[in-house]
Amino acid sequence: MLAGPVDGANVLDLFAGSGAMGLEALSRGADRATFVEGDSRAAAVIQKNLDKLRLTGARIVRADATRALAAEAAAGAKYDLVLVDPPYDSYENLQPMLARYLPTLLAEDGLVLVETSNRVQPELPLELLKSRKYGTARVSVFGG
């Protein structure tokens, strides 16, 4: 849903898994990407993928999303693009935490892309720009 380059962007990839979305952002011109992944094996995969693709500007945070978001907000971090792809069955429990921290972390004119089950319409205190269903998934884009 986000076509084109993300030149110069500072990207936050929450629930990064293999890091595919953050890696894509770096390969399309983002300056920096912070990957948040609590699973050490998945974080190791992200590092291997970064090395294999020779991408720079990455930071891997091995913590759960709540701790990572609180720390980033306390540090005054700002992101141009936030990618949120939690396990589908946990989104509704995560939504209050995301609603609390994402507006603080979003840079002016920044975007938040949220992937959920197609049965869930995410609600955040941000402007919903578009939301589309793709099979069993829904992708929603919010702006600050």
Four-CA torsion 48, 52, 56, 60, nearest 10 degrees: -10
CB contact at 8 A, 75 and 48: no
pLDDT for position 6: 87
In DSSP terms, 10 is beta-bridged to: 32
pLDDT for position 27: 92
pTM of the model: 0.94
Number of CB atoms found within 10 A of residue 88's CB = 16
Going from the N-terminus, what domains does the chain have, and what CATH number goes with each?
10-143 (3.40.50.150)
pLDDT for position 2: 61
pLDDT for position 3: 58
> Which of the residues in the chain have pLDDT under 50?
none
Please give the structure tokens belonging to residue 20.
């595919």
CA 128 to chain centre: 16
CB contact at 8 A, 35 and 22: yes
